[in-house]
Amino acid sequence: MSLRLGDEAPDFVQESTQGTISFHQWLGDGWGVLFSHPADFTPVCTTELGLTAKLKDEFSKRNVKAIALSVDPVDSHNQWINDINETQLTQVNFPILADADRKVSSLYDMIHPNANATLTVRSLFIIDPAKKIRLIITYPASTGRNFDEILRVIDSLQLTEHHKVATPGNWKPGEDVVIVPALQDADEIARRFPKGYKAVKPYLRLTPDPRI
């Protein structure tokens, strides 16, 4: 059965370029990004893994760990890493799971027969500290992931986790957010949002980013 938002991210034990990974233990009490690739030595994925390595500090300051997956074995991954480091001018600094037995691919429904009966599709999961899946995106093979968007979603999830707000379309950190419609108590609104708010419509109330 396909995974849905709010489901617990399946746990697993699998080999990787950084040794054996027990997934939930590896995640610890932080956030995680798990993303898959059809195979090693593929051009779009080479650029994506390079970008992920370059964004390590951005992920770290959000308490996020990144982990990739491909159906090829560890020795192939290690050879690919050499190419990634060379062509993307970086050093891969996160594990790549070796899923030759398709164990993780099956748990996360990454094999789509209409796309390819044996290789994983290019899926991405954002997982919160409670091990719940908070975002699922599946990309076609021809389109590289937008890592600015992935960071933006993480910022939104972490903001809305602790404040009764939602983030508008194209929102970026520091911009106004929306007070959730369920919050109607005037005293609580004043306490939560001391900078006030603008009621564009009764259901559309904008307030400054509460973290600023």
Q: In what order do the strands lie in the sheet with 177-179?
A: 165-166, 177-179, 204-207, 198-201
Q: Dihedral through CA 5, CA 7, CA 13, CA 16, nearest 10?
A: 10
| Among candidate residues 88, 188, 197, the one with its CA nearest the CA of residue 147 | 88
Catalytic residues: 45
- What is the C-alpha to C-alpha distance for residues 58 and 142, in angstroms, rounded to an integer? 26
- What is the C-alpha to C-alpha distance for residues 207 and 39, in angstroms, rounded to an integer? 45
Residues found in the chain? 212
- In degrees, to the nearest 5, what angle opens at C-alpha 190 toward C-alphas 185 and 194? 155
Check the CA dihedral 145-148-151-152 and report its sign.
negative
Tally DSSP H helices, then E strands, for the chain: 7, 11
- What is the C-alpha to C-alpha distance for residues 56 and 65, in angstroms, rounded to an integer? 8
